[in-house]
Structure 1
Amino acid sequence: MLALAGNSGNPVYDFFIGRELNPRVGTLDLKYFNELRPGIMSWVMLNVCFVIKQHHTYGQASNSMWLAVVPQICYCIDTLLFEYKVLTTMDITTDGFGWMLSFGDLTWVPAMYSLQARYLAFHPVHHSTTTTALIAILALGSFLVFRLSNNEKNAFRTNPSDPALSHLRFIATESGSKLLVSGWWGLARHINYTGDWVYGLAQCLATGFDTPMTYFFSAYFLVLLLHRNYRDECKCREKYKKDWDRYCESVPYMFIPYVL
């Protein structure tokens, strides 16, 4: 099966985006495998190495290092535990497996996402108890927003008739799909993106403010999520047509309830 975007006729662009949607070697789906396994595991391994490096050099691992590394490792574990849920994401359903995804999965994720730990391995930062607690609370709260909202969405997609979801209100569309307008998804149309981004920001805050390098992750991730949000909105508007207007009236905020 070929990806629609990766068959433009421009060989350079098609190589970048990927012509095949799910290239396989035997029964091995290369995109599904590379989407999580190599990059996520390498990210964890690099972080562990940076913790060991800091401890070896300075005799201890700073509280800032734990504030950066522990949430990232938890995120990686969570990603692998809920690996099956990636099947409904745009990367799997829409994008081809070209240079963009392969480079991102195998190189960009472990190299760029571990920048905070890499910096702290050579420039340890020691936070006060209050600052440590505030960053930890921000990380935990944002992670709960990300995980609980995604759980609710996936549960509703899997079985909207589940009695446990009977309290949720939705809009029935002409396409046959149902759009949630209550619960987490009644607060904002992309509330999971908000939790995901703030979670990453908390890890950047752990490194202090001596260098902008460690905030590259947060800036890049913001651009990534805004672009993905744009693609989501365009795709949904094309799919649901006037029903999407009804949905936007019911859920007017994109990311932050009552703000944005």
Structure 2
Amino acid sequence: MRNSQSVKHRSSHATEKEFGGTLGATCIPIFLPLTVLYLLSVCRSPEASVLKWPPVLPSYLWDPTAFKLLLGWVALHAFLYMLPVGKVSEGLVLRDGTRLKYPINGFHALCITVLLLMLLLSLGAPLGYLFELLVPLAVCSIGTSYLLSFYLYIRSFWAPNHALAVGGNTGNPLYDFFMGRELNPRIGNFDLKYFCELRPGLIGWVVVNFGMLMKEVELRDSPSLAMILINLFQLLYVADALWNEEAVLTTMDIVHDGFGFMLAFGDLAWVPFTYSLQAAFLVVHPQSLSALGAAVIIGLNGVGYYIFRKSNSQKNQFRRDPTHPSVSKLETIATATGKRLLVSGWWGLVRHPNYLGDLLMALAWTLPCGFSHLLPYFYVVYFTILLIHREARDERQCRTKYGLAWETYCGRVPYRIFPYIY
């Protein structure tokens, strides 16, 4: 009874809706899917102009081959998710005092996927055909995210109160459909949100990139240096995320956000089809890259990755074991919750050093596309806006959770992402 009252009490105060409230929750599910199709269509056009309107859509938006590929892809990764390999970790304590268990085998799934790609390549499979199927695959993924979101919304009414996400349990159907009512929807032990977060879309991004590389091979006999760099940079990013998969259990997506259209669409459609725009752009608009230019870009990506990985590792190590020699001497601030906030090391430089590393890598992924078109820079602009928005969400939650201790921390670490700038 106490948990039920707690949910109701917190929901009644959730009047400060995010993402533009009801208006945003109504418009975003319409305009974001259209944005994906628009960007892919522009990417395939000879001009690649984001200012040309209306865009020239492909002659077909639906292809049964794309639907079969998507169905088989999701089924493959659902099977790999359930394999008894890797370890099993517990998530954070839920409101009812329990912890859910999660299989940590995403890196295994990535390795198996790469091996399957190499096998298909050796058998002469036309992997470059993925370029022709990009728009139909995106259409199928968008449709799947809608169907999954409707399923998640309907099933949430059978979930117990303590299993609902506070931010998605407002009583407004449009907003709750968008944000997600249920925090950790599961079919048996199969966690739907956790599966979608790191598997079909994220690994699918790597496969789409490789398909673009193979299409370039078909057209020009060999991949360009720009295409190789983008494939390698983004493969490293995905591999890192899956190698450190356990860290996702403490992220806002898993701990705070319900599973609704926002995450379902982001995981299944937005990530694989907008994060791969640079590779798709290079198929139609090849770019030459000098050795010096490549070295500078590799260096930028290396610096970004170093900041991103070191700061995240420091935070995760401190959360797991604050007495570990690598973090035990770092300065901290005590909070009323019993937790301590780091105010030295990477987290004494800015409040979100991992975001700084993320943005440097995002720029490195875009620079191989040159400066003749705006389209490849969509990712950098979007990602900057996303991280600033996410930082603002983090700020509100931490201020509510830690109170005076957070104010003290902000006084000690005034810059949010960019040192001496923001």
Same fold (TM over 0.5): yes
Question: Is 2:377 the counterpart of 1:210?
Answer: no
Deviations 1:187-210 (A, max 9, x none): 000111010111011101111112
Aligned-pair RMSD on alpha carbons? Answer: 0.9
CA distance in 2, matches of 1:124, 1:164: 45
Q: Tell me, in whole angstroms, the C-alpha distance in 1 between the residues paired with 2:359 and 2:386.
A: 10
Secondary structure class of the residue paired with 1:164: coil
| Map of 1:49 onto structure 2 | 211
> 1:47 touches 1:118 (CA, 8 Å); kept in 2?
yes
The DSSP-based 3-state class of the residue aligned with 2:341 is: strand
- Structure 2: how far apart are the matches of 1:137 and 1:164? 26
Alpha-carbon distance in 2 for matches of 1:167, 1:125? 48
1:90 match: 252
Matches within 5 A, 1:163-174: 163-174=325-336
CA distance in 2, matches of 1:248, 1:15: 34
User: Conserved in 2, the CA contact under 8 Å of 1:68 and 1:207?
Assistant: no
Equivalent runs, 1:98-137 vs 2, <5 Å? 98-137=260-299
Equivalents in 1 of 2:268, 2:204: separation in Å?
8
TM-score, structure 2 length as denominator?
A: 0.61
Tell me, in whole angstroms, the C-alpha distance in 1 between the residues paired with 2:381 and 2:407: 30
Aligned to 1:247: 409
SS at match of 2:264: helix
Partner letter of residue 218 of structure 1? V
Opposite residue 29 of structure 1, the aligned amino acid is D
Equivalence for 2:396: 234
Report percent identity of matched pairs. Answer: 51
Larger radius of gyration: 2
Written as runs of structure 1 = structure 2, the 5 A alignment for 1:124-163 is 124-163=286-325
Query: C-alpha offsets along residues 115-173 of structure 1, whole Å, 9 cap, x if unaligned?
Result: 00001122111111111110110011101100110000000011112233222111111
2:201 is aligned with 1:39: yes
Determine the C-alpha separation between the residues in 2 that align with 1:110 and 1:246: 40
Any gaps of 5 or more consecutive residues in structure 2? 1-162
Q: TM-score, normalised by structure 1?
A: 0.98
CA-to-aligned-CA distance 1:77-103 (integer Å, 9 cap, x gap) = 111111111011000001000011111
For residue 201 of structure 1, what is the amino acid of its counterpart? Answer: L
Aligned residues: 260
Is 2:202 aligned against 1:6? no
SS at match of 1:163: coil
Residues 1:257 and 2:419 are matched in the alignment: yes
Residues 48-95 of structure 1 show CA distances to partners (whole Å, capped at 9, x for unaligned) of 000011111012111111221110011011111111110110000010
- Tell me which amino acid in the other structure corresponds to 2:352: H
Deviation at 1:178, TM superposition (A): 0.5
